[in-house]
Amino acid sequence: MTKLSVNINKIATLRNSRGGDVPNVVKFAEDVQRFGAEGVTIHPRPDERHIRYQDARDLVNVVHTEYNIEGNPIPKFIDLVLETKPTQVTLVPDSIDAITSNAGWDTIKHKDFLVEVISEFKRNKIRTSIFVDPNLKQIEGAKETGTDRIELYTEAFAHQYALGNEDAIKPYADCAKLSNQLGLGVNAGHDLSLDNIKFFKENIEGLLEVSIGHALISESLYLGIENVIQMYLHRLS
Ligand SMILES: CC(=O)[C@@H](O)[C@H](O)COP(=O)(O)O
Ligand SMILES: NCC(=O)COP(=O)(O)O
């Protein structure tokens, strides 16, 4: 069983573009869960360009499925996670100016740091996951950090699959297999979509959770636009 966690960053992006509260992030989180989503993911960035730290607090009593907070564990982020106590924290090594996440952790080079941060979260009973590239050495390194899970960074797979290269799944399948052998739970995310999710799921052993935002929100616009145009035309007739 693979859980679908909906990343709602894009809803906050849209809201922030007008400075008001439309669309409402909390209402959206309530709705996606009502429609069947099994988790809600947010990725507050230091510049708060989409999800704000206050959103993370406002969502605490709203997310009754799995609450996943992603981000680079800078002190401000660590404090937010310890305050909000989500189901899971996913650590992502974002550079401050990254448009979006673009790499996994070097779990070998940053082992000591990861061990320290992960143990603090686990002491507070927050499940941990770390964002990694599909590389066996990085999975072995992840095991050494004490993390509960890894999140496979799927951008390369999504890109190659769209070009027709199904072999791009191989390093992900190998890493998932090794993770399962080592007792690490397997999550995945980044650029997963309606086009590639079935193939990905079918080839990844023990896939526990996917977090999907950019494509899912874009697809919702495409698939909903016809209905909304008709509703406007009806009111104007
Ligand atoms: C870790 C990951 O892949 C996602 O959280 C992704 O980075 C979404 O973040 P943005 O919405 O800021 O692009
Ligand atoms: N962890 C990945 C995530 O939350 C969503 O990534 P994307 O679907 O917005 O690329």
Atom of ligand 1 at shortest range from CA of 13: 11
Burial 153-188 (b: 16+ CB within 10 A, else e): bbbbbbeebeeeeeebbebbeebbbbbeeeebbbbb
Decide whether any atom of ligand 2 lies within 6 Å of the 189 Cβ. yes
From the candidates 43, 66, 151, 209, give the one annotated as an active-site residue.
43
Q: What do you get for the CA distance between the two ends of the chain, in Å?
A: 47
Check residue 79 and give its pLDDT.
Answer: 98
Pick the ligand that lies closest to the CA of residue 153. 1
DSSP code of 15?
Answer: H
Domain locations in the chain as residue ranges: 3-236
DSSP code of 221?
Answer: H
Please indicate whether residue 43 is annotated as part of the active site.
yes
52 labelled as ligand-binding? no
Q: Which two tokens stand for residue 106?
A: 């070097």
232 CA to centre of ligand 1 in angstroms: 33
Condensed to tens digits (0 to 9), the pLDDT of residues 18-68 reads: 999 999 999 999 999 999 999 999 999 999 999 999 999 999 999 999 999
Q: How many CB atoms lie within 10 A of CB 134?
A: 23
Q: Would the pTM of this model clear 0.90, i.e. be above it?
A: yes
190 CA to centre of ligand 1 in angstroms: 7
151 CA to centre of ligand 1 in angstroms: 12
Check whether domain 3-236 has CATH 3.40.366.10, yes or no = no
Decide whether any atom of ligand 2 lies within 6 Å of the 187 Cβ. no
Task: Give kind and range of the element (H or E) at residue 224.
Answer: helix 214-236
Please indicate whether residue 110 is annotated as part of the active site.
no
Average pLDDT over residues 90-117: 95
Check residue 96 and give its pLDDT.
Answer: 82
ipTM given for this complex: 0.96
Q: How far apart are CA 132 and CA 191, in angstroms?
A: 15
